[in-house]
């Protein structure tokens, strides 16, 4: 089976840095996506990692270690609008674009 684990909830302070971890155990691996989802809204694409290493995009960075089945999303200079659920999703090798999602991490940013 496929298993993707993320912490259920996290809290952080405005202006701080937060790291959201994701571990996966899947039969085959192609790439890992991070999505942000505000309550009642659609998931929006944040990042895509295929190779090991860090991908930086503004205040958001994502890291992947394929050998460890591990990724994290790093959010810097937190803003109140960053309060949302963050979804880790994996696509499998040899397959199509099926996203296998974790349950998501609800992040609450406090003043």
Partner 1 sequence: DAGVTQSPTHLIKTRGQHVTLRCSPISGHKSVSWYQQVLGQGPQFIFQYYEKEERGRGNFPDRFSARQFPNYSSELNVNALLLGDSALYLCASSFWDRGQPQHFGDGTRLSIL
Looking at the Cβ atoms of 96 and 111, the one nearer to partner 1 is 96
Binding partner 1 (rule: CB under 8 A), the pick from 24, 33, 63, 72 is 33
- Sign of the dihedral through C-alpha 102, 100, 13, 55: positive
Encoded one letter per residue, x for contact with partner 1 by CB under 8 A and - for no contact, window 77-106 reads ----------x-x-x---xxxxxxxxxx--
d(CA 11, CA 37): 16
Encoded one letter per residue, x for contact with partner 1 by CB under 8 A and - for no contact, window 1-30 reads ---x-------------------------x
Residue 32 is a binding residue for partner 1 (CB under 8 A): no
- Regarding beta strands 9-13 and 105-110, do their DSSP bridges make them parallel or antiparallel, or are they unpaired? parallel
- Regarding beta strands 100-101 and 60-65, do their DSSP bridges make them parallel or antiparallel, or are they unpaired? unpaired
User: Which positions lie near partner 1, rule CB under 8 A?
Assistant: 4, 30-31, 33, 35, 41-45, 48, 50, 87, 89, 91, 95-104
């Amino acid at each position: 089976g496929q298993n993707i684990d993320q912490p259920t909830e996290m809290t952080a302070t405005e202006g701080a840095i937060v790291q959201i971890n994701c571990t996966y155990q899947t039969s085959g691996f192609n790439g890992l996506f991070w999505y942000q989802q505000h309550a009642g809204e659609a998931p929006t694409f944040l990042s895509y990692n295929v190779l090991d290493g860090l991908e930086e995009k503004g205040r958001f960075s994502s890291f992947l270690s394929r050998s460890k089945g591990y990724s994290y999303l790093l959010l810097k200079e937190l803003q109140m609008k960053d309060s949302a659920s963050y979804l880790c999703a994996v696509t499998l090798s040899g397959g199509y674009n099926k996203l296998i999602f974790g349950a998501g991490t609800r992040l609450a940013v406090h003043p």
